[in-house]
Amino acid sequence: MLANAKVCLYPRDQQEAVRILEEYGGQALVLAGGTTAALNSDPAVTTLVDLTRIGLDSIEEEDGEWSLGCCVRIQQIATHAGIAGLCDGMLSTAAGSVGSRPIRNMTTLGGNVVQVFRWSDPPVALMAMNAGFELMGPAGSRRLSADEFFERHPRQVLQRSEILTRVYVRRPQGASGGAFIKYARTAFDLAVVDAAVCIELDGRNCSAARVVVGGTRTVPWRSREAEKILVGSRLTKAVMRRAAAAARLETRAAGGVRTDGEYRRQMVEVIAGRVIEQAAQRARERS
């Protein structure tokens, strides 16, 4: 509980939100879904800023590009028909695997993506889909690629008083396939490992691949070694197995409370292998 928070503000649009954050600085706490705010008891927080009324809670499509507002709830993403049609539904699957139903009802895309805990599943899919991230701050708005947004923890990428406003995803061109798997020990659980892959084929060869792993570091990361093996090759079983093994070697996984680093690394190979195979299969079906 935030005992010293006497006021909650409800900005009506993104400009007002940014202005408020500029004014209050460290005394303000941004609330979206709120799944982490309640566990915060920072006595410096005097002002709460509820972002959910700034009108960024819709999913829209224009010219093949989908934009998701930062206050869209994860459950909305999980059940959205249009999103289900993108990249073989990898973002829908990732959203549907977050926590449990009430958590999905509460958590916003913005919160999930900016807070990115080790257990946040949608960022893995978004990185594989090469999503775009629009930020708004006092100096105006800017757009970052997924690689830029997750280069370090997004909280460090976001500048002072900047908020994430929209996430953009686009249907890939040509013969492409995607897959996302969350491997967890029970149904309502943090991932041991997430993996997401988008593959594009040019004839029989792979022309592009994004292989993303989550659950092993604070942010999702691309296995460049795995991608190097895939791109330019025909995706035989042997090639795909080598790519999965490369992803494992590239993994620097710490142990957690319930699983050790060695097992996690092994699972990167198993799960990355499965998503690569699934994505390749789907891409082949389209070529």
Partner 1 sequence: MDIHVEVNHQPLVWKVNPGQILLDVLRREGYKSVKFGCGQGDCGACTVLIDGQSMRSCLLLVGQVEGRSIVTVESLGNHDQPHPLQSSFVECGAVQCGYCTPGMLLSAKALLDENPKPDEDQVREALDGNLCRCTGYKKIIEAVLRAAERMRS
Partner 2 sequence: MSRRRSFSVVGKSVLKKDGLSLAQGAPLFCEDLLPRGCLYARVLRSPHAHARIVAIDASEAESMAGVHAVLHHGNVPRVMRTTAGQGAPEPSPYDFTTFDSKVRFVGDRVAAVAAETPQLAAEALGRIKVEYDVLEPVLDPRRAMEPGMPRIHDEPDARVVIPVPYEPQKNLAAHVDMQIGDIEQALADADLSIEREYECQYAQHTPIEPHCALAEPLADGRIRITTSTQVPFHVRRIVAQALEVPVSRIHVVKPRIGGGFGAKQEVLIEDLTAFLAVRSRRPVFLRLSRSEEFLSRTRHSMILRLRTGVDKDGSLKAVDLDVLSNTGAYGSHALTVVCNCGSKVLPLYRWPVIRFSADVVYTNLPVAGAYRGYGATQAAFAMEIQMDEMARSIGMDPVDFRLRNHVRHGETSPVFAALGEGGEGTPQSIDSIGLKKCIREGARAIGWKRRRRRGRGPLKRGMGMVCLMQGSSIPQVDMGAAMIKMNEDGSFNLLVGATDIGTGSDTVLAQIAAEVLGVEVDKVLVTSSDTDVTPFDVGAYASSTTYLSGEAVRKAALDVAGQVRKVAAEMLDVAPKTIRLENGRALASDGRAVLLSEVALRSLYEKDQHQIGALASHTTRKSPPPFSAHFAEVEVDSQTGLVMVLRYIAAVDCGTAINPVLAEGQIEGAVVNGLSYALCEEFIFNDKGKLRNDSFRDYKIFCTRDLPRIETILVPTYESSGPYGAKSVSEICINGALPVISNAIFDALGVRLRKAPYTPERVLAAIREASADSVE
Give me the residues that bind partner 1 (CB under 8 A), please: 1-8, 10, 31, 34-39, 45, 48, 50, 52, 73, 75, 99-103, 105-106, 187-188
The phi-psi region of residue 63 (left if phi > 0; otherwise alpha if psi is between -120 and 50; otherwise beta) is left
Partner in contact with 38, chosen from partner 1, partner 2, none, beta carbon below 5 to 8 Å by kind: partner 1
Strand partners, 1: none
How near is the Cβ of 88 to partner 2 at its closest, in Å? 20
Q: Are 89 and 196 in contact (CB under 8 A)?
A: no
Q: Which is nearer to partner 2, 131 or 276 (CB)?
A: 276
| Residue 263 binding target from partner 1, partner 2, none, CB below 5 to 8 Å by type | partner 2
Distance CA 168, CA 274 (A): 26
Assigned token pair, 268: 């990167």
Least separation in angstroms between residue 44's CB and partner 2 is 17
Choose the contact partner of 35 out of partner 2, partner 1, none; CB within 5 to 8 A by kind: partner 1
Nearer to partner 2, 9 or 190 (CB): 190
Q: Nearest-CA neighbor of 11 among 27, 31, 38? A: 31
Work out what residue 65 binds among partner 1, partner 2, none; the CB cut-off runs from 5 to 8 Å by kind.
none
Tell me the C-alpha distance between 8 and 111, whole Å.
Answer: 18
Residues that bind partner 2 (CB under 8 A): 1, 3, 100, 183, 185-190, 192, 257-260, 263, 266-267, 270-271
Q: Which does 105 bind (CB under 5 to 8 A by kind): partner 2, partner 1, none?
A: partner 1
Residue spans of beta strands (DSSP E) within 185-287? 191-202, 205-214, 221-222
What's the min distance (Å) between Cβ of 187 and partner 2? 3
Q: How far apart are CA 190 and CA 182, in angstroms?
A: 9
- Least separation in angstroms between residue 69's CB and partner 1 is 17
* Residues 207, 231 contacting (CB under 8 angstroms): yes
